[in-house]
Amino acid sequence: MSELSKLLPESTDFRAAIMAAEAILKDSCEQISPEVIHHFAPGIYMREMRIKKGTILTGKIHKTEHLCVLNGDIEIASEDGKGRFTGYLTFLSKPGVKRIGYAHEDTVFTTVHAIEGTDIAELEAALAVDSFEEYDRFLLEAEKQGVLK
C-alpha cells in the first residue's frame, strides 16, 4: 500500500477525501515548510519548492492554468488520478486542482505562472486558494464579471 493510499481511502468524493487527509496531517504531523525559491522575469513568476525525502504535503488550489516542472521521485494524487513520478517531467496543470504528494526522494516541484508582479502575498492571493469553497466563490465572481465564459 502506498503512503497516499493510507491517507486517501477509495472514495467517489476526492475533494472531501483530500481535505480530510489534509486535516489529519495538520493535526497529527509536525508541520514543516519546504524551501521555496521565487524566480521572476517579465510577465513570469516561477515558484520552486524543494521537498525533502519522506515529506507528505498538500498543495493549494490554483485559479489558473499553469506549467509544472518536476524533478525527483514523488507520488501524487489528485482528482485527475494518481501515480509515482520519477526523474524530470513537465506538465500542464488545469485550474481547480488540489494535489497531495509523498516524496520518496528529494524532489523539486516548480510552478510557472504568466502573471506580472513580484509581491509574493499578492501573487499567492491572485493565483491560489486554500479550499474548494473559496475556489467555487472565485469562479462565481469571475463569471459575474465576465472573466469566465
Domain spans in the chain, listed from the N-terminal domain onward: 3-144
Output the pLDDT for position 123: 97
User: For cell 519522506, what's the residue?
Assistant: 54
Output the pLDDT for position 8: 61
Third-level CATH fold of 3-144: Jelly Rolls (2.60.120)
| pLDDT per residue rounded down to tens, the chain (149 residues) | 566 666 665 656 888 888 888 888 888 878 888 999 999 999 999 999 999 999 999 999 999 999 999 999 999 998 888 899 999 999 999 999 999 999 999 999 999 999 999 999 999 999 999 999 999 999 999 888 887 65
Give the separation between CA 132 and CA 19, rounded to whole angstroms.
Answer: 9
